[in-house]
Amino acid sequence: MVKIAVIGAGSLAWSATLVRDLCLTPSLGGSTITFMDIDEERLNLIYAFAKRYASETNANLFFEKTLDRRTAIKDSDVVINTAMAGGHSYYEEMRKVSEKHGYYRGINSVEWNMVSDYHTIWGYYQFKLALGVARDIEDLSPEAWLLQLANPVFELTTLISRETKVKVIGLCHGHLGYIEIASTIGLDVRDIDFEAIGFNHVIWLTRFRYRGEDAYPIIDDWIKNNAEEYWKIWCEEQVNPFNIQMSPAAVDMYKVYGLFPVGDTVRGGTWKYHWNLETKRRWYGSLAGPDSETGWEVYLNMLKYNFDTIASAVNNPAPLTTILPPQLSLESVIPIIDSIINNKEGVYQVNVLNKGVISGLPDDVTVEIPAKVDGKGVHRARVERLPKRIVNYVLRPRMMRMEWALEAFLEGGRDILFEWIIVDTRTKSTEQVNQAIDALLSIPANQEMKKHFR
């Protein structure tokens, strides 16, 4: 019997979608899904939701819940990790303290990673949690696949691949941004052939073909003739801060780096797009993009709203399928599990060690690429070439930050934190760096982290 463990099962961003997709995948029928979380209230909620959703959709699944990670992982075939150590409130506190010392959006926000819950240098607890999950798999279910959904996918997939023997795949839905590109410029998405590669949250449209022809000229034409008009309406009507795939920032990145940025890539870039709220508004519209004080608040409120909606639906006799209709999502998590468990070949966007696929990057760094997945695992294939400008001025600097964050976690010591901040464009003095480090490490929740960085 197949066992799928979900660690951090109370995840606001993931759980309901995972349950729905599982219930709508009959080839995984008969599986046992074991939910694990340290928050008992959330655990009970997702368990109740899953049981009812499965019964409403006649899914043949068995559900278990536990507060013990090792019990969940033992004898699993697949482990999904969506756990976020400390939760959003912990990181908002880290951000507030950083900002008091002159680091807008936190010391964690740097060039090519401005995403507000993609925690790298200050992610000590998150790295420890993810590596702990992988170590438990080595110990209790060494043949299991680990699907790493919790961020930072780039750092954590690289860390786990290097430090353990676990078969890990990092997953993200950012590449689906190609759908928005196609539909905005008036193309039928079903006739698109695309490829977007690089690092997680830093992927570039290396192939974009429409009905067999290169469709980049259609993007160029849209920029020349339609973009200004689109931006006028887009800016006035903005309600979703994530609606930035065709923003002025995306077009500017295309002009500077030579390929169109896809999905969360648009949220990154250099400080050119991020100095302050006003700058962010200029590039990302009236809500200033998701990674601003205004945009992130909208996102956190939306997560809370989704959670409250599920909580009240579970306590209400009306069918759950009325709030979450029984339709497969576009997420690849459950289809990948189906491919692995039932040996059904499929092509997916995955994060795995490079091993020579993208030239100009080391083998032991995780890249995001399309690859075939089946019962034997991930099969890397050839990809298009990235321009030198993207490899040298985008991916290599981003890779350097990843190495830095991994070293900070694995080796500790204050020097490494100091080095991270002293090269930050926002730093004005050595004193400022030291005061920011002291303040961050003095947060009560950071007692253990303080010892690590002594």
Which residues does the annotation mark as catalytic? 173, 264
Measured from the CB atom, the residue of 101 and 349 that comes closer to ligand NAD is 349
- Contacts for 445 with CB less than 8 Å, ≥ 6 apart: 86, 90, 93
Closest CB 382 distance from ligand NAD, rounded Å: 25
The answer to whether the CB of 261 falls within 8 A of the CB of 368 is no
Closest CB 131 distance from ligand NAD, rounded Å: 12
- Contacts for 100 with CB less than 8 Å, ≥ 6 apart: 439
Measured from the CB atom, the residue of 11 and 113 that comes closer to ligand NAD is 11
Closest CB 69 distance from ligand NAD, rounded Å: 6
Measured from the CB atom, the residue of 12 and 59 that comes closer to ligand NAD is 12
Strands 261-262 and 213-214: unpaired
Give residue 364's Cα distance to chain centre.
20
Q: Where are the beta strands (DSSP E) in 166-289?
A: 167-170, 192-199, 202-210, 213-214, 261-262
Task: Dump the DSSP string for 323-386.
Answer: TS-S---S-SHHHHHHHHHTT--EEEEEEEE-TTSSTTS-TTSEEEEEEEEETTEEEE---PPP
Q: Where are the beta strands (DSSP E) in 171-265?
A: 192-199, 202-210, 213-214, 261-262
**Structure tokens, 261:** 């940025």
Q: Which residues bind ligand NAD (CB under 6 A)?
A: 7-8, 10-14, 36-39, 42, 82-85, 87-88, 117, 129, 149-151, 153, 171-173, 303
Closest by CA position to 115, among listed 281, 298, 324, 267: 267
The answer to whether the CB of 58 falls within 8 A of the CB of 26 is no
Measured from the CB atom, the residue of 176 and 323 that comes closer to ligand NAD is 176
Closest CB 203 distance from ligand NAD, rounded Å: 12
Give residue 148's Cα distance to chain centre.
9
62, containing H or E segment: strand 62-66
Give residue 113's Cα distance to chain centre.
11
Closest CB 12 distance from ligand NAD, rounded Å: 3
Measured from the CB atom, the residue of 123 and 285 that comes closer to ligand NAD is 123
DSSP letter for 387, please.
Answer: P
Measured from the CB atom, the residue of 177 and 269 that comes closer to ligand NAD is 177
Closest by CA position to 366, among listed 174, 162, 163, 154: 154
Q: How far apart are CA 82 and CA 33, in angstroms?
A: 14
Closest CB 221 distance from ligand NAD, rounded Å: 31
Q: Where are the beta strands (DSSP E) in 82-210?
A: 145-148, 167-170, 192-199, 202-210
Closest CB 371 distance from ligand NAD, rounded Å: 17
Cβ count near 217 (within 10 Å): 10
Measured from the CB atom, the residue of 53 and 91 that comes closer to ligand NAD is 91
Q: How far apart are CA 86 and CA 103, in angstroms?
A: 21
Closest CB 14 distance from ligand NAD, rounded Å: 6
Measured from the CB atom, the residue of 151 and 161 that comes closer to ligand NAD is 151
Strands 62-66 and 167-170: unpaired
